[in-house]
Structure formats: C-alpha cells, structure tokens
C-alpha cells in the first residue's frame, strides 16, 4: 500500500493549496492543522477578526487606483440567480448585491447591504426591509422595492432555470407557486412604498436572513435582462462595488470600480482575473499575478526566512468546508448501504494524510466542519477498518466482482491527472476490497450541470463550503430528501423528520442537537465518503497589496483593498 502511494507522492508536489471554493466547488487541499474544539461564536476569519476598513497612507490620504491581478477559471455563469459554484460566486459577489450580505465581523456576520435596516414581525415570519436612500444601479438608475420584488420572483421563474432557488428562496410564501409555473407573483413579497418591502415566510426560521446573502437573492436590472436576453451578462447592470468591464472566455475577466455604488467606492481601478492558465507560482514570481497559494513543492522554500518570498507569506484561515466523494444512492452498486459503508471503512485517510500530504491535511469523518455552528466532536464516523470493510462487502448485494456493476467516479478536469486524492482512494479500494473503479474527467461547467441533473454515478473533486453561518447549509441543504442540492439522492425519513423539526426550532441548543442527530444517521448511512476538513493554508501576497483579507466563507473581498504605489 505505502509503496504504491509513494509513487503518487510526486504528484502532490504540484498541488496548489488555495483555490476558490464554495457551493459545489472544485476540490481544494490546504495545509496546517486547526483546532477541533466546538466554539459558540462563529469566526469568519480566524486571526483576522477585525472588520475591513478603508486604509490611509502616512499623510492620512486614502490610497486609490491600480490593478489587482489574480489567476482564476472561467465561471460557468455570471447570472447571480444561476450560481451554484465557487468559481462563479467569487466574481458575482463583487459585481452584484442583495438586501443583506456576509461581512467579516464574527459577532454580527449578517450586515446591511442594499437594505439599511430590517425588523422581524409576525412572530418571526415577516421581515420588513428599509432600502438605503438614493440607491443606484451601476448605470445610474434608481433601485426601488419594485426591483427587489421583480428580482426575487425572476430568480424563481422556470424560464430563469435556477437549480437552487427553492433551497434559498423557497421559504418565501408564493415562491414555490412561481417555481411550479402556477404564478408570476409571490404573495409573500409586499411592496409598502419605494423604500420599504416586506417578505413573509412560511414559518419562523432562524437561518432565513442568512440565506438572503446568497446570489440567488441578488438584485438585477429588469430592463437589462429583457433587452439583453440570454446574453445579458455580457454587459450587466449591477449594484455591487464593481462592474463587469470585460470577459473574454479563456483569457481574462476585468471588473472595475462602480462609481454608483451606495457605499465607499473601491480604491482599486480594476481587478483582473487571468483565465489562461499557467503555473501559479511562476506567474507570481514573474509579477504576472499578485496572489497565489503555496503548494507542497514550494512550501519548504517559502518558509525559509532567508528566501526573498518569505516576506510575502500569509497564513490563510481554515475555510468552513468539507471535501468528499459523493455516491448516487439510486445507482447500483451505491444503492446498497453496506457497499457504501464498506467503501468508507476501506479508506485509511490518516495514512493518506501522513504518507501523501505530509500531515498537511486533516481527515474528515463527519459533515459539519470544526469551529462552525453545530460541529460535534462526538461524531466518530466510519474510520478505517479493513476487516470490517471486507465483511460489509461480503454481506452486500455486490460482493461478486463478476456481477458487480461497473463503477465510474467522475471528476472535473480537462486532461492530465484526475486528482491525487481520487487516485489514491481508488487504489485503496482496489487493494483492500478488490473493487475496481474508472475515473472519468469532464469539463467543469459540464460537470456541474451533470451533477445537478443526477447523471453521475459517483463524483469526486468537490469541496462543499458553507454558504451562510448555520448548520442547515450542510445538513438540510445537502441531505434533505427533496433538496435540489441533494446530488446523491440520499433519502432517510428519520433524517427528514429531524431536519424539519430543526427548521422551526427556536431554542438554539435543541436545534443544534437535532442537526447533530441527523448528521450521525447520515454518516452511518455512508451517504458520502467525507475526506478532508478545511484547514489553514499558506499564500503569497505581493507587498504592495494592502488590506487583502482571507475569510473562512465567501464574502466580498476587494472593496477596501488598495495598492501602495510607493512599493509597486
């Protein structure tokens, strides 16, 4: 086993440790360990808890101007109502905005955005939002409550084609009628006047406000969409701190300062995302980009205090994420719980962490990550046990390799290595169980589409990052039987009952306990093969880039970043 894995260690040296993650995003592996203690307060940015504020130079003058350069990938979409992945999310969240947003304050992670304030009425079922005065779209037109209502209803309309709208907006009274094609209006959204709008939900739910921070609830311009048709995102009219200036597929994306943004204008003139690919570290050293993650091949070098790059080294806080291999439980052989359990027990994640990743990853045995609300250290998971794995395989309906259905694990990619983790795990399944799998690569946008349509038998290369600070973003969204994001088609009546109770439970402790009970069942059912928790990573940031913050969740990043022209 170790011999075979040692041959693959060389591949690990090419890993880049900081990749934009998010809902249904690509697999990322980070380094250094994080605490396993359950904390009562959520920190979106451990070690960076202060809220980002505008910076000044020694003379007290605000720095303004300049271009930040990053490496990125082509986003599957720039329509906020269609976003389901981290690559798209990282762009869209800078260009568009909603009533509220996630911020960097760990004590109050939900912040006002287009709404300057809100209050909760009717025993927790009605939210009343007051818009800021003189809100403008990026083209200078006024933003009114009519735009808010139209945008939320547009997200739900079948013609829009959102695969996640029911998960994020389905609590609003009348939204499901629009999704089902029975109405064009949501009776739960009421315009009081040009500045005040009320949103009524079907029951008191503690997480509802947080769900409005996701792009599905972002505000778009009606005329822009009606005139632009399917290509409206080529020239979007927006409300965020930046506007889309240029998008050339496979080359670059440029976002520029939005001079009509309601808040403090961004200091940067532009952020340029390089989409052409290349070796990130080489690009950084050639000043082609300003930020890069640090892979195993370069870690020892950049940690050397005598190395010039060492002064650029930054510790990146752990993301609230878990990477995993998913199983479609409607597809043989994954319809057999004993077969799924066998695959879980056959993987020695600690050995992989030791031998392949030099203990720079942390094995995951549950769903909710450490330090996130609802994390339970009591969930032990299905840890490596070769004998138990073999016994479960023998007890399953697919013990005979001659009649066992062909197994295909699909990963995102366009050639080259299909992914180190997937290759090593496939090798463990083969050696410990005699189970052979084929690894299939597909392009990222196609992968996401096939995933949401339930076309994949088994899927890897994924890391699920929390969309909002509540355990429902893991347990409810991913494993409730009728969830649109339950990509493995997992279904358990007891889990559904626990989740439904947790949705409306107002006592925080009882609510967390309900999610923990559901998580234990999910883990024991082997709905997934959890792999790694999000852990601390290392990155390099050019010395002239100031106030760039790394967060544990995806939040707007570039508004307060500035470039010190005296260094640049």
pLDDT, tens digit (0-9, with 9 covering 90-100), for 510-533:
999 999 999 999 999 999 999 999
pLDDT of residue 31: 31
Q: Which residues pair with 489 in a beta bridge?
A: none
Prediction pTM value: 0.85
Q: Compute the distance between CA of residue 298 and CA of residue 285 in angstroms, rounded to an integer.
A: 12
Q: Compute the distance between CA of residue 84 and CA of residue 452 in angstroms, rounded to an integer.
A: 9
Report DSSP state, residue 361: S
Q: Compute the distance between CA of residue 22 and CA of residue 26 in angstroms, rounded to an integer.
A: 8
- Enumerate residue ranges in the chain where pLDDT < 50: 1-43, 45-60
User: Is the Cβ–Cβ distance between 425 and 437 less than 8 Å?
Assistant: no
pLDDT of residue 61: 53
pLDDT of residue 414: 78
pLDDT of residue 238: 96
pLDDT of residue 504: 93
What the block records as the tokens of 111 is 């912040």
Q: Which domains does the chain have, with CATH numbers?
A: 2-38+318-533 (3.10.105.10), 57-89+240-316+542-568 (3.40.190.10), 97-234 (3.90.76.10)
pLDDT of residue 403: 95
**32 Rama class: left (phi>0) / alpha (psi -120 to 50) / beta:** left
pLDDT of residue 1: 37
**541 Rama class: left (phi>0) / alpha (psi -120 to 50) / beta:** beta
Q: Distances in Å between the alpha carbon of 24 and those of 207, 238, 270, 499, 527?
A: 20, 24, 27, 21, 16
């Amino acid at each position: 086993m170790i011999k075979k894995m040692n041959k693959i260690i060389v591949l690990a040296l090419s890993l880049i440790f900081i990749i934009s993650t998010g809902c249904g995003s690509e697999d990322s592996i980070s380094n250094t360990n994080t605490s396993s203690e359950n904390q009562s307060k959520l920190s979106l940015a451990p070690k960076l808890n202060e809220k980002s504020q505008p910076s000044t130079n020694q003379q007290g003058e605000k720095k303004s101007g300049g271009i930040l350069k990053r490496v990125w990938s082509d986003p599957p979409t720039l329509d906020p109502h269609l976003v389901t992945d981290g690559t798209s999310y990282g762009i869209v969240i800078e260009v568009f905005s909603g009533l509220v947003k996630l911020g960097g304050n760990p004590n109050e992670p939900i912040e006002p955005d287009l709404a300057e304030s809100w209050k909760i009425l009717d025993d927790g079922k009605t939210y009343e939002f007051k818009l800021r005065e003189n809100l403008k779209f990026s083209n200078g037109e006024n933003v009114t409550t009519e735009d808010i209502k139209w945008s939320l209803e547009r997200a739900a309309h079948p013609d829009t084609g959102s695969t996640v709208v029911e998960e994020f907006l389905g609590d609003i009274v009348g939204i499901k009628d629009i999704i089902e094609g029975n109405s064009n209006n949501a009776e739960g959204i009421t315009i009081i006047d040009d500045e005040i709008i009320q949103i009524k939900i079907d029951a008191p739910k503690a997480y509802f406000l947080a769900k409005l921070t996701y792009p599905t609830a972002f505000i778009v311009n009606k005329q822009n969409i009606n005139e632009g048709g399917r290509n409206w995102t080529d020239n979007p009219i927006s409300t965020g701190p930046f506007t889309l200036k240029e998008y050339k597929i496979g080359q670059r994306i440029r976002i520029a300062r939005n001079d009509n943004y309601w808040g403090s204008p961004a200091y940067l003139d532009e952020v340029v995302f390089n989409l052409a690919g290349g070796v990130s570290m080489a690009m950084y050293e050639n000043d082609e980009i300003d930020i890069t993650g640090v892979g195993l091949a370069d870690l020892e070098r950049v940690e050397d205090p005598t190395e010039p790059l060492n002064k650029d080294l930054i510790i990146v806080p752990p993301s609230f994420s878990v990477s995993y291999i998913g199983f479609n439980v409607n597809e043989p052989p994954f319809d057999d719980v004993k077969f799924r359990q066998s695959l879980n027990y056959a993987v020695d994640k600690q050995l992989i962490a030791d031998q392949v990743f030099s203990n720079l990853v942390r094995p995951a045995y549950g769903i909710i990550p450490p330090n996130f609300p609802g994390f339970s250290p009591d969930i032990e998971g299905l840890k490596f046990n070769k004998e138990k794995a073999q016994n479960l395989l023998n007890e399953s309906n697919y013990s005979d390799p001659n009649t066992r259905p062909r197994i295909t694990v699909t990963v995102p990619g366009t050639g080259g290595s299909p992914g180190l983790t997937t290759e090593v795990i496939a090798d463990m399944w083969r050696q410990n169980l005699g189970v052979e799998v084929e690894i299939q690569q597909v392009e990222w946008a196609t992968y996401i589409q096939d995933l949401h349509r339930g076309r994949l038998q088994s899927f890897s290369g994924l890391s699920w990052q929390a969309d909002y600070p509540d355990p429902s973003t893991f347990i409810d969204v991913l494993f409730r039987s009728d969830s649109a994001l339950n990509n493995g088609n997992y279904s358990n009546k007891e889990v559904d009952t626990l989740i439904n109770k947790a949705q409306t439970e107002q006592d925080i402790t009882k609510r967390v306990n309900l999610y923990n009970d559901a998580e234990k069942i999910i883990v024991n059912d082997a709905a997934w093969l959890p792999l790694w928790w999000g852990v601390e990573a290392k990155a390099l940031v050019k010395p002239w880039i100031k106030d760039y913050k790394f967060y544990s969740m995806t939040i707007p990043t570039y508004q307060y970043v500035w470039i010190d022209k005296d260094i640049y």
